[in-house]
A and B are shown apart, each in its own frame.
Chain A
């Protein structure tokens, strides 16, 4: 019995001794950016739908866009606060249609082409925030967002907004 007790004691000491202590590397990891830095509680005024913005907005212009997160089966960029939005006027599959991924606009892809924009949430230095937008902004596919930032246009007509303010419309 005494031998058994000693064996258990030694085993426990080994387990405790082998336990990992938090390394200094873990302690030095940068804290994730706070959502409040980019999320605003009041909806920015004069937001224009994505389709209209693609017609009127020019490069480097300040812009406020409204859109629905979607446009493909995976609208979010992994590891970055970036996603695509589609003009709210473009319809997507209704809930009762049973489509598992209505945010890919599978039935209205021809309309998506001219009504899509990319949103990347940027920090003060203009770099995309290295955090998943779903966690940072508490959004998901088909959430309607209003974003405020600077537009980037290219010769192919693509529209990207470097956003520093995001408002998530309630209800979606």
Chain B
């Protein structure tokens, strides 16, 4: 015969302070798990959506995986357009975007200054970067910039500092914000875009960093790679944009592994804390447990009731943390070396967080309950 369901529920209410403290402790552990898993999922999502399989990036072979270090001749896009078949062309406009990409110190009007990412672009950029959408304002004119949704996070500033009409300073020039853009969570969202020619003038450079090419449907990126191999004098390399970000995923693999390790550490710490708490809770109830056995309840029934208590508490903590994580953490901007991304409390994060929470309840309750049940009923009844 099992103990009534209400018995476990009422037991929790009989010790409100202990129950509340345990709930807070469990909720904190689950919240930490949500933060770390949300970080990992946000980083993965940002890199996964950054890249279009039809876009090929052409940049300096000496830059390896870091486009910021790339420097190629400004005539390269024209050379590519003239030499290659298969580049997307509509209404007489070839979809090739020459870009200068630079990490530079940016100062907002509020006085916040941080290292930001600036991309000098032309009007062909939105034709190639098809995920980019202007959500407010307009395309930048002379002396103006277009600001990504997460650029403020990359600068370590407030979102209010980068609104339309505000100014920012970089490369010795003041720029007015003409518009805001989003890119579906891609890495561009932490960038500031301005006119390429103006950016070249401001930086006193004549080169560009890369040429992004949108290939026509069915056209292969291999032709661009072959062109780069044949023109060894140009020292170019070509890579499909999705492959570039996949390589970055590999680059950040140690960070992700470390983050998962933190999840394991936090969970382990939580389980030990739970064990400690449950040992204390069960130790104070030795006589009660023995009495239940004396009046005829089997050990298994008492064990199940104790696990039920732990599980109820941890489920409540998981729900509480899940709610807070979804409301407060989800979408929170995080600054990172490659730009910025948002914490992502998605189905995987919910599953891992709540799974850890429920595991805390079960694993924390089992050992102390087993220990209490192993003791002799007669001795336990006399326990003080």
Contact = CB atoms under 8 A, between A and B. Distances in A.
Interface stretch (B12-20, B190-198, B221-229, B326-334): B221-229
B382 interface: no
The range of chain A's interface size is: 20 to 34
Interface string A65-88: 000000111100111101110000
Contact of B233 (A78, A130, A157): A157
Contacts of A130: 220, 222
Contact of A77 (B64, B225, B233): B225
A35 to B, nearest CB: 19
Contact of B230 (A73, A74, A158): A158
A128 B225 CA distance: 12
Contacts of B64: 73
A157 B232 CA distance: 9
A156 B233 contact: yes
Which of A71, A77, A128, A152 has the most chain B CB within a 10 Å cutoff?
A77
Interface string A137-172: 000000000000000101011101000000000000
Interface string A38-75: 00000000000000000000000000000000011110
Contacts of B222: 77-80, 82, 130
B61 interface: yes
Contacts of A84: 229, 232
A122 to B, nearest CB: 11
B231 to A, nearest CB: 6
A82 B233 contact: no
B232 A80 contact: no
A72 B61 contact: yes
B61 A118 contact: no
Contacts of A128: 226
Given A77-B222, A80-B222, A113 B232 contact: yes
B229 A82 contact: yes
Contact of A160 (B61, B230, B233): B230
A77 B229 contact: yes
Nearest to A119: B229
Contacts of A83: 229
A167 B64 CA distance: 31
A160 B225 CA distance: 14
Contact of A158 (B221, B231, B237): B231
B226 A80 contact: yes
A136 interface: no
Contacts of B220: 79, 130
Given A77-B222, A80-B226, A156 B61 contact: no
A93 B78 CA distance: 37
A84 B232 CA distance: 9
Given A118-B232, A130-B222, 6 more contacts: A72-B61, A80-B226, A82-B222, A84-B229, A152-B230, A154-B231
> Nearest 5 pairs between A and B by C-beta?
A79-B222, A156-B233, A80-B222, A77-B225, A118-B229
Interface of A: 71-74, 77-80, 82-84, 113, 116, 118, 120, 128, 130, 152, 154, 156-158, 160
9 contacts: A71-B232, A77-B225, A78-B222, A83-B229, A118-B229, A118-B232, A120-B226, A130-B220, A156-B231
